[in-house]
Chains A and B, each alone.
Chain A
Amino acid sequence: MSDTAGTGTVKTGLPRKNINEVVSAGIRRRYAAERRFRAYGLAAIGFAIFALTTLLVTIVGTGYSAFTQTMLELEITLYPQDIDPEGNRDPKVLSTANYQALVRQSLRDLFPEVTTRQERRRLNGLVSDGATFQVRRAVLDDPSIIGQRISILVPMSDDIDQFMKGHISAEVPESDRRVSDQEIAWLERLQDRNLVHRTFNWTFFTSGDSREPELAGIWGALVGSLLTMSVTLALAFPLAVATAIYLEEFAPKNRWTDLIEVNINNLAAVPSIVFGLLGLAVFLNFFGLPRSAPLVGGMVLALMTLPTIIIAARASIKAVPPWIREAALGLGASRMQVVFQHTLPLAMPGILTGTIIGMAQALGETAPLLMIGMIAFIVDIPQGVTDPATVLPVQVFLWSDAPERAFVERTSAAIMVLLSFLIVMNAFAIYLRKRFERRW
């Protein structure tokens, strides 16, 4: 019971009035600081949005034209004596027939005045080599058309395609341009006859890689990516979740587990190319696994993704409130039951989110795959995890290096496909988080 009780003396040295003045002087400064800070934040976000928009606009601007392809409508007479001299429709015979000659003949029919060999070669160059395959496929699909005169859309060569899309300008002197004046003249005549069409570029989505840009597609790389990701997921997810559960729920907390934790965190920061070197040394050279295979790629990427998933899984297991465990333990559940009936289901959305982000990271990874030979030029669509394959980002890398003008737009288009996959994966991660997020 001190005497001062209730008298309410201010114990600072300043009288009240002064305090008010000092405080109000400071308030303006504090608000100014806050406004400045907000402005910095806005500026940062603005810059980020600007950079992102620039990137997207550039990519989409360059890449969108790759989704169309200039096609030439050719009238081809399928003479039975050329294709199937014996008339028994044997597919072997059908596939070895000289379709190229048919295509060329058809072109010559369009321009009868072209006679010199040089000019003929140029004329033949208007359409892609793919035209031959197209005619052959049409015949193999339906041998009954032999003997008829069919009208077929064949891709034009990449230079003509680029010219039609306006990427090659007619203003440039002829010597500097990849399309000659004569070719332009032919093209105009074809256009007059309404034989040149622009169609959706299915080839881009259904073919493997090719030296000819108009025949190159991303399907091979996409399948390669999917196979690689499957291997990565199958390896990394169970391993990472098991590790996280063990470390969080069972391992004693001592120097050893601390060391392991530090190392896992460090692994997450190791440059990815180092994992590629490891894959090269261990999987290829030591175990003798096939080069360029999604199996090895997946294993390397799994190694790279493991720490990410482990860290995410540990964090979300840690985030499961301890009283859930206590409640279950208090009812007599064993630790196994606690983990698998309570902790893990509750942590799963977080783990899945982490996994998807890890997988997205792996999907975009190139460097380690270069080391194990997934950079090879592969035309065939891989059929299994041991077939040689390449992946989307590597395909982008390869195309960006190619000299042909037409690969520029295809590079951007491939980037767009890759980005859309990443966006879909991240969106799925967000969905999972929102869907299963629990409030305690």
Chain B
Amino acid sequence: MSSSQHIVRSYDEELTRISNRIVEMGGRVEAQLADAIEAVSKRNSELAQRAIDMDAHVDEMETEIDDLTVKLLARRQPMADDLREMVAALRIVGMLERVGDYAVHVAERAVSLSNMPVVPPVLVISRMGKMVRDLFGDAVGAYAHRDAELALSVWRRDRDLDQLYASLFRELLTYMMEDSQNVTTCVHLLFVAKYIERMGDFSTNIAEHVHYIVRGHKPEGQRPKAGSARIATE
């Protein structure tokens, strides 16, 4: 947060509390995400269940933080940096919740996948999973430390995830065409990959908002996109 303090001390306390709760929520979602991905790669339905169970708590946190933010907006009428903080907080919390939801979706697929034959592209999923965990972790870290540079790096790295997704997409298509028995498994994996790709997008969005908090504007220029992946998914 900012170097100097507000004249009204409780204002500072409220801002800090919201920020801390968001970081805490980010941590929860990160754990949820990690569990879900591991559940897929390790075919562990217990881990998957844990990720699913965690979601209720994440949703609660979202409501709580939203509530705190709205109250602060109503009572303090934040300006400038504080205003950006609060607007970003509202958005980021929403995105964290969505990431949590995707983690749940991934975990649900993991439960189904644990009873199906293994196909080699699972390894790519693990790579994507690691990548998105890093992206998401960095996005939350950038928020926690108001680190615009880290946020920018998240923003740039999302392209790698997109590219990986595009190649996995093609690989899964190949498997499905080779053997129709793989289709169910591959469709599940395709969904998991899509969810991961979406989580990457949300991480980027969070990073953009961190950049907005710190610098007053979103990162400039077009976001680096793996154009082929877009086309491929459509």
Contact = CB atoms under 8 A, between A and B. Distances in A.
Judged by CB atoms under 8 Å, the answer to whether A and B touch is: yes
Interface of A: 1, 5
4 contacts: A1-B9, A1-B12, A1-B13, A5-B9
A5 B9 CA distance: 10
Contacts of A5: 9
A135 to B, nearest CB: 99
Contacts of A1: 9, 12-13
Interface of B: 9, 12-13
A1 B9 CA distance: 7
Interface of A is mostly: loop
B72 to A, nearest CB: 17
B224 to A, nearest CB: 41
Nearest to B12: A1
Nearest to A6: B10
Nearest to A5: B9
A1 to B, nearest CB: 6
Nearest to B16: A1
A197 B9 CA distance: 96
Nearest to B9: A1
A373 B9 CA distance: 81
Contacts of B13: 1
Contacts of B9: 1, 5
A102 B125 CA distance: 153
A5 B13 CA distance: 12
A5 B8 CA distance: 13
A279 B13 CA distance: 80
Report the 3 A-B pairs with minimum CB-CB distance, sorted nearest first. A1-B13, A1-B9, A1-B12
Contacts of B12: 1
A402 B68 CA distance: 97
B2 to A, nearest CB: 14
Nearest to A2: B9
A265 to B, nearest CB: 47
A152 B13 CA distance: 107
A1 B6 CA distance: 11
A12 to B, nearest CB: 23
A137 to B, nearest CB: 93
A5 B12 CA distance: 14
A186 to B, nearest CB: 103
